[in-house]
Chains A and B, each alone.
Chain A
Amino acid sequence: MFLNVPYDSQFENLFLAYIAAISAFGFIPRATLEIPFSRRRLDRILDLIGDCRFSVHDLSRVQLDRTPPSTPRFNMPFELGLAVGLERRDHRGKAWVVCESQAHRIEKSLNDLNGTDVYVHDATVRGVFREFGNVFVRAHRQPTVQQMMAIYRILRASLNHIQVRAGQASPFNARVFRDLCVLASAAADELVTT
């Protein structure tokens, strides 16, 4: 599952929540964090989105940031556009899901999506789990919010150790992301049993 979220420190908890939720449903999280900055980055982003059957796009960061020059983030809507384009072209059971932290804001920020369901998580970890439970249904091993929360807490408790080991101060880099995904998958394998 392709994960399209803002990479900023204020989004750290929700980033971990998304990894926990995706792993709890038995998916493998993929993100552009894995792709190095290079000239062929766009091609590789397209390949990554194309390889994923599902994609989750969080459009919570639409406001200008405080760091000059104040700019909005275009990456998330851009990658959502790529996912929609690929889904419309391929029609091979791909699905994309849009999440927001505030209800009705998207009607102003991206009204091309009017008529499309946007899942509002209220910028809370529990909200992310609640909305994932609304979006996805598994015939077997359907995770509960409590199970997702347990996976999240394991990630939260291990994050610092993983960051120190990778020599990073933030979870938004390839090595930490990969470790978190494997850890979340192992936790889901243990905790989500029925």
Chain B
Amino acid sequence: MNKADLIDRIASGSGISKAQAASAIDTTVDSITSALKKGDRVALIGSGTFSVSQRKARRERNPQTGATIKIARRAARFTPGSERPITVRGRFATPRETARALGVSNSRADALINTVKELTYTDAGAFSRRREGKPVRVVIAAKKKTGSTHAKFKVTTAKTSRSKTKR
């Protein structure tokens, strides 16, 4: 891609004229260049950072005089942002491992695991809890025991009727 292509893309993507797009690019480049000349960093969150790196001085010979001179060079540098997903390769922690790592007793872990199993395996309305003094019914659609790992689930929270509240 060259500058003309970039101008075309910016103009069509932003809905501005090509002249405005060209001006925007020139201003951007000029602004970054002048900041780098001053030794500043230009950080674009989500994209990366422009900065100036100081290269090690190297010895060169002046061809006219033959004298050895040291040349230090400053170079513009672009460090891309780290906006890329972190790939997780570790094992999926089981509830038992979680309980062990956190120091939860086996009996308590069993109770919590069974709570979830009830939620996902029992028929709708089988699970109820009292919340803020009012009965709340958590309805979990039955997960059919067909062996399919693609079982659909649905969790809804609904207040029970007044008659049920009295009960």
Contacts and interface: CB of A to CB of B under 8 A. Distances in A.
B131 A183 contact: no
A189 B94 contact: yes
Contacts of B103: 178
Interface residues of B, number: 52
B49 A179 contact: no
B45 A115 contact: yes
Contacts of A181: 98, 102
A154 interface: yes
Interface in B73-114: 79, 81-83, 85-95, 97-99, 101-104, 108-109, 112-113
A18 B131 CA distance: 22
B81 A117 contact: yes
A158 B82 contact: no
A27 interface: yes
**Max chain A C-beta neighbours (<10 A), residue from B119, B129, B138:** B119
A138 B87 CA distance: 6
A172 interface: no
Given A117-B81, A156-B157, A179 B104 contact: yes
A23 interface: yes
Interface residues of A, number: 49
A76 interface: no
A138 B91 CA distance: 10
Given A137-B88, A154-B116, A160-B130, A185 B98 contact: yes
A194 B148 CA distance: 11
B95 A182 contact: yes
Interface in B26-83: 41, 43-46, 48-49, 79, 81-83
Contacts of B130: 160-161
Given A28-B101, A185-B93, 8 more contacts: A116-B81, A156-B157, A157-B129, A157-B136, A185-B98, A189-B95, A192-B92, A193-B151
9 contacts: A23-B98, A26-B88, A28-B98, A115-B49, A141-B92, A157-B127, A160-B129, A181-B102, A185-B95
Interface of A: 23, 25-28, 30, 34, 53-54, 95, 97, 104, 107, 114-118, 134-141, 150, 153-154, 156-158, 160-161, 178-179, 181-183, 185-194
